[in-house]
Structure 1
Amino acid sequence: MSADTAVPATRRRSLRPLLFAGTLTLVLGLLFGLPWWTIVLSAGWPAPVTAAGTVVAALALLAFPVLMYRGHFRGNDFASRVADTLLGVIWVLFAWSAIGHVLYFALLLGGAGATTAGRAMAVSVLAVSAVLVVWGYAEAMRVPRVKRVDITVPRLGPGLDGTRVVLITDTHYGPIDRAGWSRKVTAAVNELDADIVCHTGDIADGTVAMRLEQAAPLADIRARLARGYVTGNHEYIGRGGQSWLDHMTELGWQSLHNRHTVIERGGDRLVLAGIDDATARSSGSPGHGADIDAALSGADPELPVLLLAHQPKQVTDAVSHGVDLQLSGHTHGGQIWPFHLLVLLDQPALAGLSRHSERTQLYTSRGAGFWGPPLRVFAPSEIALLTLRSGG
């Protein structure tokens, strides 16, 4: 590298922390600032109310990055719970503050004064947000509903017609102890009498040791033919991907770390393959990285392939390798409306069954748990029961 090119490269690297800090400040300013403007400043409340609201907003803004750092980077579960809850509440307030301005301007056009319109907007935003936060918490903490879908796989042999595949994903065992919830999810899965049970990653936020009790009920999940697991992006935070693969193997699951197994029933066979998450290669975990060639190595090309891959966007490789059906999670269906709009900027599917080539279909689950904020708003959790149908 010449001196002429080295100097600009060094300058770019030195600017990265400043750019990151500036972007973070702008995002947090908007996230906390719009609700403050909508609920506190625009409403023309008496001075003591405005001052109190401003102090609360400022303290929340200053505390949030500290709590996030202590919680998610220093392993403090209490800080994580507070930061995650604050994030969920402020996101709901931000979204509905933006929507609330429609009411504000409508009232102004209707002849209302600025103070009347501002207070109507503030009260409406607070009321709607409070209802959604309470409802969203109940939705997040409940045992997921079962979503039943029949999927025709044309290359599937008649002996495998009616194969029942249960997909759970994104359990995200984390700072809120949900060991009891985990046992109930296991019971719900076992009631479905599955032939194959799949977990497509994001088991937990934290190490195996931290989430051992919450993950333990996974050992009790029953399947007649196979239980398959692949890593999600959260397993690689802290380079814990291999430890989760090892632990799932200890629990009796097949850890499909870029490999496959063959399922047989009624004289017909199906390839059940799995690949690492899309982030695995850049995670710094030796020997990890999505490798569909390795996963399908030695598989009979005439057999139908069911591929487990955490992120829907990994379907690009599935299409190029003639996979029949990919099962994924990751999106949470957006989790808290309208976050799904941002998810769709990164992923080709949000939830449900979609087709990506003449052969390849993708089923994306909204997931069983939640990441971060213990809220689900207009994005209910699910356990998917997929019944495979033969083309014949």
Structure 2
Amino acid sequence: MIIKSKRIYMEDGLKDGFLVIEEGKIKEFMRSTDAEDVIDYGNMRIIPGIFDTHNHGTCGYGLMDKGTRETIAGYLKGCASQGITGVFPTAGLSMISAVADAAAENLEGAQILGIHSEGPWLNRTGEKGIKTGWPEVSIDTAKQMVSDGKGLLRLVALAPEIPGIDSVIEYFLSEGITLALAHSDANYEEAKRAYKKGFSVSTHTGNVMTGMHHRDVGGLGAALLDNEVSSEVICDGMHICPEMLQIYFRIKKPEHFMMISDCTPFSGAPEGSYLGFEQGMTINVSKDGFVLTDTGRLMGSSQPVLYGISVLTEKLGMPMETVWPMFSLNPCRKYGFDKEKGSIRAGKDADFTVITNDYRAAATFVMGRKVYDMEEGPVFNPDFLKEWGREEIPHE
């Protein structure tokens, strides 16, 4: 298979030419060819495949509480429709085993490269400082998570200040699992100690952590000042305002960031109101695709990494050459996939995405196989609206 584009973002620069794909690998790049059987994408950009390491759901499919093989298959196809070639599904405890089983099936869509568990031991305080508590710290639960993961549990996010959590931290580290500081009320010194203890990722940096103050730069400052920490970042311009993103990238080089979506099943949902998780609760999807409670509080993310790419390149004026490693090569390096994945280069897996000028995925390729084409039409879960009680909510 030969792919042509005038704008291919390769590891060694932007190029106009042809990618030769053989047996799932990029065999070579050519400036010209006499071959007639060429897939020509014209001036559409070809970028390295997105590796999203923090993604709870998308396109009406979720992985938190319940789900079947079909749920996971729909989720992976939905990821591919958003340009994702590799993913760490962020699974609820009851879904870890099913996701691990699905990873062995080679389902069509994004490739499962590992499993991420956000919690269950989190100290979520939020901007209003309301403490919600956490489940009992249990080494047995931690061991069950590892067992259910069948060798694929790669990332666990915890709040390091929770009493009694040290034994769980030590256990996960002994199993070779990466730990992320998440949903934490830790101040600067506490966060700094956690990173010295073995935490090496900051979960959705800036969100649900103590912020920067001139007398204590908090969990955010600890993440930004430590170059040994790989910092997840949501770049939709709403979770972190564009001006703060600029500050991030001035304090810490882009090579230390990993773009994530933190998407939920509401990613891609039609604008409107939905019944919430609790009686009387309403979830609102805005015209811009953001998921909000009636009070305006963000409920996870709804915009994919591709949208974040558009914010960085179009609103902040960052060159794609600076941006693409943050959504592909950096996470691949962090989790040990960079020899095979993370950039478009001869010898690597043919994982790449063709994008339109408005930052939608026109086609997504995983190991040389086209797993999504926008001509297929919608991939949104047809049962989602019914499950979430989509209806006209009366407004007084």
TM-score where L is the length of structure 1: 0.35
Q: Report the structure, 1 or 2, having the larger strand content.
A: 2
**Which one has the largest radius of gyration?**
1
